[in-house]
Each structure stands twice: as C-alpha cells, then as structure tokens.
Amino acid sequence: MTKRVAFAQLTSCWGCDQSLVDLHFRLLDVLPELEIVYWPAVVDYKLKDLEALPDDSIHLGFVEGSCRTNEDLHLLKTMRKKSKLLIAWGSCSCYGGVQGLGNQWPIEELVERKFLQADSVTDPRIPESNMPGFLGIVKPNPAHVKFEMVLPGCPPTSDNTYDVVEALLTGKPFDLPERTVCDECPKEREDKHIVKFYRTHEGKIDPNKCLLDQGYLCLGFATIGLCGAQCPTVNTPCKGCFGPPPSVKDHGAKIISALGAVAEMSPEELKEAFPDPIGSFYFTDYAASYLSSITAKKRKEKEE
Ligand code: SF4
Ligand code: SF4
Ligand code: SF4
C-alpha cells in the first residue's frame, strides 16, 4: 500500500524542501511507495485542500520551518490533526531556527527594523493592512504539538531524510546519535592553546589540521554528528547548524564553557572576538535555549 505524505512549510527559507532534490535518482526508489497529498512548494495545493483531508489520513507529515505567525500555528496544528506520524524536519522545525534569534527583541521592534530601519528599505512604511498576526516568541515546534520524530539540520542532508523515510516505511528505529561533528571529521587534532580567534578570510588555513586548533571558531565539538562533517572537510568552520547532541540541553552554554577551557584569552579579548555571542553560539537553536531559560510567567507575558 502506498503511504500518503504531506510537506508543510511554516516560516522558513524552504531550503529543507530543496535539499530533497539532492536525492537525485534515489528519489525513484521511494517515490513509487509515496502518494503526495499536500506539498505547496511543488504542486499548487491550498490550505483548504489540507483542511479537507480526513483526520489521521496522512501517513507521514513533514513540517519545515517554525511558527512566527498565527497562520503558521494553524498550519502546524492542522498537520498534526491530519497526520499519523509527524516529523519535525530541519533545525527551524526542531529548534526554532534562525528566526528564533528574534526572541532577543519585542515583536514591535522587529517590525520596525524590517519595514522602517533596514538598510535596504526604500519606502519606510509599515504595511498595517497586509501584516500577518505575529506570535510574541518563536518556539521549537515540539513545544507546540507532539512529534513522532525530529530530524535537525539546516538543511538535513538528503541521506538523513532518506534514512528517516526508510525508517518510517519499514518501522526501523531512527535515533539521533550522541556523536559530534568532530567524531566524523578527519582533521588532525592537538592540545588546544588558542590565543586568538580569526575570521575565515584571515590568515591561511592548514587543510590537514583542526580548524579550532588554528583559531577558527569551529563548533563541531558541540554539534550533533549527522552531516558527515560537511563544512570542516572543505575547510569551513562548523557553525553548529544541526544543533547539539541529544544529551546537551543548552548548545551555546556548552560551547561557551568549552571555549572557556581552551582559549588562553581574557574575558575582554573573548568579548571583542565575539561581538554577537548569541548569533555565534546559537545559530539555529536560540529559541530552544530561550524557552528553557525563562519562567512560565515570563513566557506567558511574551506570548501575549
Ligand atoms: S532548517 Fe535551514 S534550510 Fe531548513 S528551512 Fe530552516 S533555515 Fe532553511
Ligand atoms: S576542524 Fe572542527 S570538526 Fe574538525 S576536529 Fe576541529 S573542531 Fe572538530
Ligand atoms: S559541519 Fe556544522 S555547520 Fe556544516 S552542515 Fe554540519 S552541522 Fe551544519
């Protein structure tokens, strides 16, 4: 029997969707087993098509992106209602994503920044009549509804997505590993004595040696190893986009404590090296950390 599949996009860049194309001919292995019943990125489905489906009639529901607007939340809840198995697909969905960095400011300030202050603004006006209703804070989707599976990544690799679909089709388990990007990385490591951090365009990277040992902020040591160390293998530091391994509760705190142990630098020097610590250490998962760091009362105030 074919499995009915749906893909929903909340606030996101749609990169997770596009990563599916990287499956190339492997798509042909799974496509005959799937009946796509909702995928607006590819076929002209409307929300009413999803709403009209019977409850629990979708076998696999993929949710990309996180909830920034009331419409996002409605779509997420509809996907939950219509799907037997729901997958939080990509780091936006699992952790809130880049848009979770917006939790540092009230929504009114974000709107002003976007429509009135950004350098690219040529006609500074807030389009009141066309604005969606915004949620006060971005949360990881599993804080809104229950998910049967989470697959982080920005985007997840096509192999990761293939493994998840295969696991769901065959009933095989798919557990997130405790290994890190460093465990997958072939570079030589030494004792770390970091006295200065460099931007990637500074200095000359030795391609055989660990980037962090050389003073480039590579977050592979605190990031779940699912991508095959894609970035360090091409001499680009890991930005931590897949988030932390399951046992780490706060990605940025783990990174800061590890850097504190290996950087032979004063607090002032570290501050100067990382003028945007939240952006540097919580690239895709600030919303997850933010949610666990505030009280229930504060959360309620922010949500209103
Ligand atoms: S997880 Fe990354 S690739 Fe996927 S939608 Fe979010 S920002 Fe885009
Ligand atoms: S280059 Fe990055 S991923 Fe590789 S060993 Fe060093 S810190 Fe880990
Ligand atoms: S190496 Fe790091 S930044 Fe690059 S894809 Fe993997 S987790 Fe993301």
Task: Report the 3 state secondary structure along the chain.
Answer: CCEEEEEEECECCCHHHHHHHHHHHHHHHHHHHEEEEECCCCCCCCHHHHHHCCCCCEEEEEEECECCEHHHHHHHHHHHHHEEEEEEECHHHHHCCHHHHHHHCCHHHHHHHHHHHCCCCCCCCCCHHHCCCECCCCCCHHHCCCCCEEECCCCCCHHHHHHHHHHHHHCCCCCCCCCEHHHHCCCECCCCCECCCECCCCCCCCCCECCCCCCECCHHHHCECCCCCCCHHHCCCCCCCCCCCCCCCCHHHHHHHHHHHHECCCHHHHHHHCCCHHHHHCCCCHHHHHHHHCCHHHHHHHHC
CATH (one of 3.30.70.260, 3.40.50.700, 2.40.340.10, 3.40.1130.10) for 3-170: 3.40.50.700
CA-nearest residue for atom 6, ligand 1, is 92
Q: What is the pLDDT of residue 231?
A: 98
Q: What is the pLDDT of residue 304?
A: 67
Which atom in ligand 3 lies closest to the alpha carbon of residue 229? 1
Q: For every one of its 304 residues, what pLDDT tens digit does the chain have, with 9 covering 90 and above? A: 789 999 999 999 999 998 888 888 888 887 888 899 999 988 899 999 999 999 999 999 999 999 999 999 999 999 999 999 999 999 999 999 999 999 999 999 999 999 999 999 999 999 888 888 999 999 999 999 999 999 999 999 988 998 888 887 788 888 999 999 999 999 999 887 899 999 999 999 999 999 999 999 999 999 999 999 999 999 999 999 999 999 998 999 999 999 988 899 998 999 999 999 999 999 999 999 988 777 777 777 777 6
The model carries a pTM of 0.93
CA-nearest residue for atom 5, ligand 2, is 182
Q: How many angstroms does the Cα of residue 180 sit away from the middle of ligand 3?
A: 10
**Domain locations in the chain?**
3-170, 181-292
Q: What is the pLDDT of residue 299?
A: 72
